[in-house]
Structure 1
């Protein structure tokens, strides 16, 4: 009996040893893939697809503004150590090429917006071209494609592809994570459409700090007006603001919002001149920190949609 038990114990140890050196054991003990994402919203998307296998560093963190970001030596160090770098593209990160060069990064960043038809800033869907003056550091493209959920489904497919290229062994897992998250995004898209369906098309009008919601406007049938252009770095002209004030009064627009990354003074001035009290804060180019209301992309889209629809309804 004792010999039998000893043999069983030895066999168990051999099995455990084999497991420790098997591909499964190896997958559990390997260091995580080092990924860098350019800004907080993209960082969340990479985490959703990468799961525990990927360590994600974000260059422009929650509450910070990627339009005016200045990379530091510590950012260059993060990029130098990365196995894969993710960027939005469409001119959003004007500083990215300089940073890659400084860091000595040899690969090409994964542009998650690849395959999306960008909106042109020249083609004005929301009648507020006259309100936009000053330079646009994005050129003719609107980079804020993540504001439409169908575009983020494309982002997720591009992220999975980028992670598979950097880590073939984890590819099956990335594809599974991407498929599960895509299902959640499809549900989110349906929710947002349902929230706006309850509001007559003629009443779907809002004012925001800068022109970050063009894709949201086009996808969900909402009209946005903004004193600044597609970059928070652009200047709002006195003439443009005066025209916006007249339009707000004429069209009786009730929903006025400050963005989390913007100086609130301009919106507060417009509020005083129109008698419309700002309805709160929207998250455009950045998540809140994890303790805030918009700690993930899906939370951000839900909280923005609820704030906008409630403000229009006068709640």
Structure 2
């Protein structure tokens, strides 16, 4: 029995040692020589893959349906950030609870906010007197084109040997973004002007409204961390009733209960409002679907809005 116990202790120690130190810790480039890049939201991951092509291995911390405003980094997330060669995030307080992490990481490695090169004059201010800017810049395709150029510049600086290829990839992708921008403008313009009102759970579509000429109203503020009350519900309800707006929209990353309260309030006043569909706001769709890419996500949103309001 004593010999058996000693054998078991030895095996336990051996297994533990292998788990803790048996494999070499990998940092920087992966086994295939690709640059290891960690991003926050899927939209940033997508443009990084488009620009980086075969030379990058991209990991997005936030999966489909995840709200970046409320996201808290796990120990696994911190490890992915530590192991990455390059970190790309949104900035403008999009990842509010992770700001300190990015500031610390910037002291160790290249850490870039993809919105850094967008002129301040093109950014929307949050209507709360704080002086902060709306971070949802990807809803204006022209602004997201600038973010794509920032990613290209970051990759080229980090990996000068493939700079020409990154430039070529970026140019090809930006051409597709220009087509997308024109498509969105054309489709939204086809909605009768009186019905050109986009009502969602939180105010994420300000850039979209400004870029494509549609009035935008959200029950909550720019961030889903903000609270909404009965006054917010009644104000939005009264607007829908008075203007005979027939559809509102839910978001993939925001619970439906907030917007459902508005629908129920309008019904009590004899005005029927339907859910026009689900939009992608702070997160893209599942990987492998058209909505799992930035271009596919924007097209889905545009088509859903037009179908419901036209």
Q: How does 1:39-188 map to 2 (within 5 A)?
A: 39-100=41-102, 106-116=108-118, 117-122=122-127, 140-188=132-180
Q: How does 1:236-247 map to 2 (within 5 A)?
A: 236-247=228-239
What displacement does 1:197 show? 2.1
Aligned residues: 272
Deviating more after overlay: 140-149 vs 101-110: 101-110
What displacement does 1:234 show? 0.8
Q: 1-side partners of 2:95 and 2:198: how far apart?
A: 27
What displacement does 1:168 show? 1.0
Q: Could you say which residue in structure 2 is the equivalent of 1:295?
A: 292
2:39 counterpart SS class? strand
TM-score by length of 2: 0.83
Q: Could you say which residue in structure 2 is the equivalent of 1:198?
A: 190
Q: Provide Cα deviations, 1:193-220, integer angstroms capped at 9, x if missing partner.
A: 1112222333211210100000000000
What displacement does 1:182 show? 0.3
Q: Could you say which residue in structure 1 is the equivalent of 2:211?
A: 219
2:165 counterpart SS class? helix
Deviating more after overlay: 247-256 vs 107-116: 107-116
What displacement does 1:139 show? 5.9
Q: Is the 8 A contact 1:76 1:102 kept in 2?
A: no
Q: Is the 8 A contact 2:66 2:253 kept in 1?
A: yes
Q: Is the 8 A contact 1:206 1:254 kept in 2?
A: no
Sort the Cα spacing of 1:172 and 1:293 in 2 relative to 1 into closer, same or farther, 3 A.
Answer: closer
Q: Provide Cα deviations, 1:144-178, integer angstroms capped at 9, x if missing partner.
A: 00001001110110000011111111111111100
Q: 2-side partners of 1:47 and 1:216: how far apart?
A: 24
Q: Is the 8 A contact 1:79 1:100 kept in 2?
A: no
What displacement does 1:311 show? 0.5
Q: 2-side partners of 1:112 and 1:52: how far apart?
A: 21
RMSD between superposed Cα atoms in Å = 1.9
Q: Is the 8 A contact 2:247 2:309 kept in 1?
A: yes
Unaligned ranges ≥5, structure 2: 1-30, 267-271
Q: Is the 8 A contact 1:201 1:221 kept in 2?
A: no
TM-score by length of 1: 0.82
Q: 2-side partners of 1:295 and 1:49: how far apart?
A: 17
2:233 counterpart SS class? helix
Q: 2-side partners of 1:305 and 1:45: how far apart?
A: 20
- Of 246, 268, 276, the match for 1:279: 276
Unaligned ranges ≥5, structure 1: 1-28, 123-134
Q: How does 1:4-23 map to 2 (within 5 A)?
A: none
Q: 2-side partners of 1:120 and 1:165: how far apart?
A: 31
